Amino acid sequence: MKNLDVVIIGAGIVGCACARELSLAGLRVGVVEGKSPGCGATAAGMGHLVVMDDSPAQLALTHYSRSVWSELMAELPGSVEYEACGTIWVAADEEEMAEVHNKSRICAAAGVQASVLGPAELSKAEPHLRGGLAGGLLVPDDGVVYPPAAADFFLQEAVQAGAELLQGSEAVFASQGMVRLANGTKLTAGRILLAAGADCSLLPGLPIRRRKGHLLITDRYPGFVNHQLVELGYLKSAHSTESDSVAFNVQPRRTGQLLIGSSRQFDNDDSRAETKIVGQMLERALAYMPGLGQLSGLRLWTGFRAATPDKLPLIGPAGALTGEVADPSLWLVAGFEGLGITNAPGAARLLADQMLSRTSVIDPQPFLPNRFAAQEAVYA
Amino acid sequence: MSHYEVIVVGAGPAGIAAATAAARSGSRVLLLDENPAPGGQIWRVGRSMLKGQSEGEAAKNHALKRLRDSGASFLFGYSVYDAPAAGELRAICESGEAADCPVWGEPHAVSLRYEKLILATGARERFLPFPGWTLPGVFGPGGLQALVKGGFDVKGKRIVVAGSGPLLLAVAAHLRGYGAEVVCVAEQAPLAQMLPFAISLWSHPAKILQGIQYRAALGSAPFHLGCWPVAALADIAGGKLTGVQLTDGRRTWTEDCDLVACGYHLVPNTELASLLGCAIEHGLVKVDEEQRTSVAHVYCAGEPTGIGGLDAALVQGEIAGLASAGKPTRSLQGRRVAERKFARRLEAAFRIRPELRSLAQPDTLVCRCEDVTYAALEKRSGWTDAKLQTRCGMGPCQGRICSAALETLFGWKQISVRPPLMPVPVSALVYSESQPVNLKENQ
Amino acid sequence: MPDGTVMIFLNGGSVAVAAGSTVAAAMLNAGQPCRISVTGEARTALCGMGICFECRALIDGRAHRRSCQVVVRDGMIVETQR
């Protein structure tokens, strides 16, 4: 039986980033991964590093985490394919243009560089967008990474600092400092960190819902798109917590390939791609960028975001969420919805700060899992 | 959306036999193929084909005539890329140049509905990476044959034909017919492995005769058994193929040549069957004695059920066509069993020798789409890990070429098949209620 | 099968090609690579039947077309896919 300081369950980008942070701080870390590191939502996601301002806490975390990414840039291997391409939030009409100005003010107040683009500047920046759009907001310091390689980078750094990867057998039990794997291996640790994304099988009471998404990748068309492009309507659709929605969201990869998204569906556990919503998603994309229709689409896939009711992640002790019997050993780092790649290194810092009683750069309070405990009690 | 009682995917011998049998039994049949004309790989129609050069020309013409007379409809130039719902296929003509395309030159996607589906998707060549195999001038044997039929002029070219399988002699004979100088034919299988197969051929006199004809057509070119290429060589500039290094395991020598055709027998095309959820066993689509797969109303015939060649394809196709129409197949079962035995002997005869697994050097590319080296793959724990960390299999061929190599090299089994089955224009994935196809019946 | 020849523009030069040929065959006959791989290697068709995607070329302005599946046409503009 292995005795460790922390067992991390899940080697997605968030689990790997935490493994790195905790190992570098000197803790003995084990990472349990049933399949392959980074093969879940990490592989399914776009890898957009983006400052999101839908709540003050989200703005603080995404801004902080993006700054941790830029700290790491010099160390990232080429395989991570970091590109500081920036984001353009595309406004279709004057109503959305008003939102551009609003976002621009929020960014300025938070110290996030952003500039408003008029229709001519927008079409100069992205000639393949259709004409007649109202403008956009350019956030130049946003970027793009290839998430599985980023997860692998975090994991390799952790391993070099002494962490151990236990791959090939999933955790089937985790409680009171004890983890058991499907192959019978037992691990003990002072702390167990659940970093399993939307997989809540080890702690079914978590306030996390699976939110399915689809993405399409094209062959190589260098220069077809220059920035990550997201329609401002995305904010409306991403915020709608109940209905299925699609939004125009296109990303240029370093390879010249384009990722085309996005879709959001709640309570849909079918991992197959669905014709109807794919069609809607691509129709939306073609409405903004008609030329995409002729490009060669290589692969289509789905993934599951881990959504919380307030759209903020769970970072810290599981506390009262562990159920009737208090389990002080269980910690959480999950529920990042569509921002797991952006927030992974920042969340890892916040988590390590709590485990090591360090002071955090941003307020960790809004992300503490216990914020949902009171609500659970109401329903109990 | 066009609706058929039976849709047959693939118009090679199996598909032609299936469509003919089903249509003659009274079913409303659509035969679909990605090529502009029926025939598949073995009966591929070529440009300026010389009379008498095509193998089994008479058999082919007879089959095509019966097909034309059967009443089946055709959709040629269209590839199936999705099966979005039960009983539904999506197919596309990417060039927009097929007879059924409404706007010439514009990619055209269609939805097709079926009650019964017969998969006759054929096979492709197996490629095993060796140093130099990505050089211009190195082809698959079947690939080179298809390119020659498409107008590639090999007159006077010195060609080494290598690899494994009955195709090698056929291709070599063919190339010679087009004026090429076949330097030699190198079959990796040793004589001891081939002998039981050769002896068993006495029960298939037509096949023996064909083999003798091919051998005779080779003229004086040597036919080496137990011999395989270890490297394709290029000039100093690295661009032009100058020769190929061959070995018989004891000695290694160089044959100067202009082109190399190298492929290791065939790999069944099972992707559409996988997408539909058909059970696959040992890489083959599992079927019962009437060619039914594990999925209701879906049949499979020919190479995807076991590499058995032309005669197996013809009998299986006919059985599938009859069975789909509810007709008895008893009279064909004897031939079916005999052809299955033949297929098993074929597999044993051309089994890949272990030395071929160690031809790739650390810098040899395995995935040609994404240029992933053997060294990069050797470090990975499996297919998923390799895909995520090296991009192996993530290019436009979707792993069609490298997956067979990875299975041979590392024992990795190809993982899930997802739509689209092949790269298609993004617009083809917007499934609006598609307008019915106006098929020109019985072209 | 069509008779005679057609003229195509191949990487800037005009080439006479037998009518009915595939673009891949025309490129092979002219000694031109179909595409340059992601690490810069010249590639020509491998499988000849539309599976390997090694013969992708830029044909009449459309990128990544499988040249072994496209028949030449008078005035066609073909370029090595880069």
Roughly what angle, to the nearest 10 degrees, separates helices B167-177 and B205-217? 40
What is the mean pLDDT of the segment spanning B381-398? 94
Q: Tell me, what's the pLDDT at B36?
A: 87
Roughly what angle, to the nearest 10 degrees, separates helices A340-355 and A147-160? 20
Q: Cβ contacts (< 8 Å) between C38 and chain A: which residues?
A: 220, 255
Looking at every residue in chain A, the average pLDDT score rounds to 94
Among the partner residues B381, B394, B395, nearest to A36 by beta-carbon distance = B381
Architecture of domain C5-80 in CATH? Roll (3.10)
pLDDT averaged over 10-residue windows placed end to end, chain C, 82 residues: 84 96 97 96 96 97 94 96 94
- Two tokens at A38? 């980074």
Integer distance in angstroms from the first to the last C-alpha of chain B? 20
φ, ψ for residue C7 (rounded to 5)? -105, 130
Q: Tell me, what's the pLDDT at B214?
A: 78
Measured between CA atoms, the residue of chain A closest to residue B420 is A299
Among the partner residues B394, B424, B432, nearest to A297 by beta-carbon distance = B424
C16 contacts: CB under 8 Å, gap ≥ 6: C5, C6, C7
Domain(s) of CATH 3.50.50.60: residues in chain A: 2-44+147-207+310-379
A279 touches chain B (CB under 8 A): yes
What is the mean pLDDT of the segment spanning B71-95? 95
Domain(s) of CATH 3.30.9.10: residues in chain A: 84-141+209-306
φ, ψ for residue B23 (rounded to 5)? -70, -40
pLDDT at residue B416 greater than cutoff 90:
no
> Model-level pTM?
0.93
Would the CB atoms of C63 and A255 count as touching at under 8 Å? no
Q: Cβ contacts (< 8 Å) between B432 and chain A: which residues?
A: 279, 283
A27 touches chain B (CB under 8 A): no
Among the partner residues A279, A294, A297, nearest to B431 by beta-carbon distance = A279
Which of A217, A220, A294, A295 is the best substitution to test chain C (most C C-beta atoms within 10 A)? A220
Sign, CA torsion A333/A334/A335/A337: positive
**Confidence category of residue A237, pLDDT binned at 50, 70, 90:** low
**B255 neighbors B153 (Cβ within 8 angstroms):** no
Would the CB atoms of B152 and C24 count as touching at under 8 Å? yes
Which ipTM value was assigned to this complex?
0.97
Q: How far is CA B36 from the centre of its chain?
A: 16
Would the CB atoms of C44 and B137 count as touching at under 8 Å? yes
Interval A19-62: pLDDT, tens = 999 999 999 999 999 999 999 999 999 999 999 999 999 999 99
pLDDT at residue A380 greater than cutoff 60:
no
A161 touches chain B (CB under 8 A): no
B10 touches chain C (CB under 8 A): no
Shortest CA gap A276–chain B (Å): 7
Least confident of B66-70, B163-167, B410-414: B410-414
Give the CATH H-level superfamily of domain A2-44+147-207+310-379: FAD/NAD(P)-binding domain (3.50.50.60)
Integer distance in angstroms from the first to the last C-alpha of chain A? 37
CB pairs under 8 A between B and C: 111
Q: Tell me, what's the pLDDT at B52?
A: 44
The subunits that touch chain A, with at least 3 C-beta pairs less than 8 Å apart, are B, C
Would the CB atoms of C1 and B34 count as touching at under 8 Å? no
Q: Give, in order, the Cα–Cα distances in Å from B1 to each of A279, B251, C81.
A: 17, 61, 36
Would the CB atoms of B427 and A286 count as touching at under 8 Å? yes
Strand partners, A297: A218, B424
What gap in Å lies between CA A318 and CA A326, rounded to an integer? Answer: 9
Interval B305-319: pLDDT, tens = 999 999 999 999 999
Least confident of A214-228, A335-349, B30-44: B30-44
Q: For A321, which DSSP code?
A: G
- Two tokens at A166? 């236990």
Q: Tell me, what's the pLDDT at B49?
A: 41
A95 touches chain C (CB under 8 A): no
Would the CB atoms of C63 and A296 count as touching at under 8 Å? yes
B82 touches chain A (CB under 8 A): yes
Shortest CA gap A248–chain C (Å): 23
Among the partner residues B41, B127, B150, nearest to C68 by beta-carbon distance = B150
Least confident of A322-326, B294-298, B360-364, B392-396: A322-326
Measured between CA atoms, the residue of chain A closest to residue C58 is A221
Would the CB atoms of C63 and A219 count as touching at under 8 Å? yes
**Confidence category of residue A207, pLDDT binned at 50, 70, 90:** very high
Q: What kind of fold does domain B127-262 have according to CATH?
A: FAD/NAD(P)-binding domain (3.50.50)
**Confidence category of residue B438, pLDDT binned at 50, 70, 90:** very low
What is the mean pLDDT of the segment spanning A5-14? 98
- Two tokens at B116? 């019964």
C64 touches chain A (CB under 8 A): yes
Sign, CA torsion B377/B382/B383/B388: negative
φ, ψ for residue B272 (rounded to 5)? -65, -40
Q: How far is CA B108 from the centre of its chain?
A: 25
For residue B8, give the nearest of B313, B281, B311 by alpha carbon: B313
What gap in Å lies between CA B195 and CA A221, rounded to an integer? Answer: 52
B429 touches chain C (CB under 8 A): no
Measured between CA atoms, the residue of chain B closest to residue C42 is B136
Interval A87-112: pLDDT, tens = 999 999 999 999 999 999 999 999 99
Domain range annotation of chain B: 2-124+267-328, 127-262, 360-430
Q: Cβ contacts (< 8 Å) between C33 and chain B: which residues?
A: 136
Q: At residue A184, what is the residue type?
A: G
- Is domain A84-141+209-306 given the CATH code 3.30.9.10 in the classification? yes
Measured between CA atoms, the residue of chain A closest to residue B370 is A255
Q: At residue B193, what is the residue type?
A: Q
Looking at every residue in chain B, the average pLDDT score rounds to 91
Interval A240-272: pLDDT, tens = 656 789 999 999 999 999 999 999 998 888 999
**B330 neighbors B310 (Cβ within 8 angstroms):** no
pLDDT at residue B335 greater than cutoff 80:
yes
3-state class (DSSP) for residue B10: coil
B2-124+267-328: CATH class? alpha beta
pLDDT at residue A81 greater than cutoff 50:
yes
Q: Tell me, what's the pLDDT at A378?
A: 46
pLDDT at residue A136 greater than cutoff 50:
yes
Measured between CA atoms, the residue of chain C closest to residue B79 is C50
Shortest CA gap B188–chain C (Å): 20
Would the CB atoms of C53 and B150 count as touching at under 8 Å? no
**Confidence category of residue B443, pLDDT binned at 50, 70, 90:** very low
What gap in Å lies between CA B216 and CA B7, rounded to an integer? Answer: 41
CB pairs under 8 A between A and B: 86
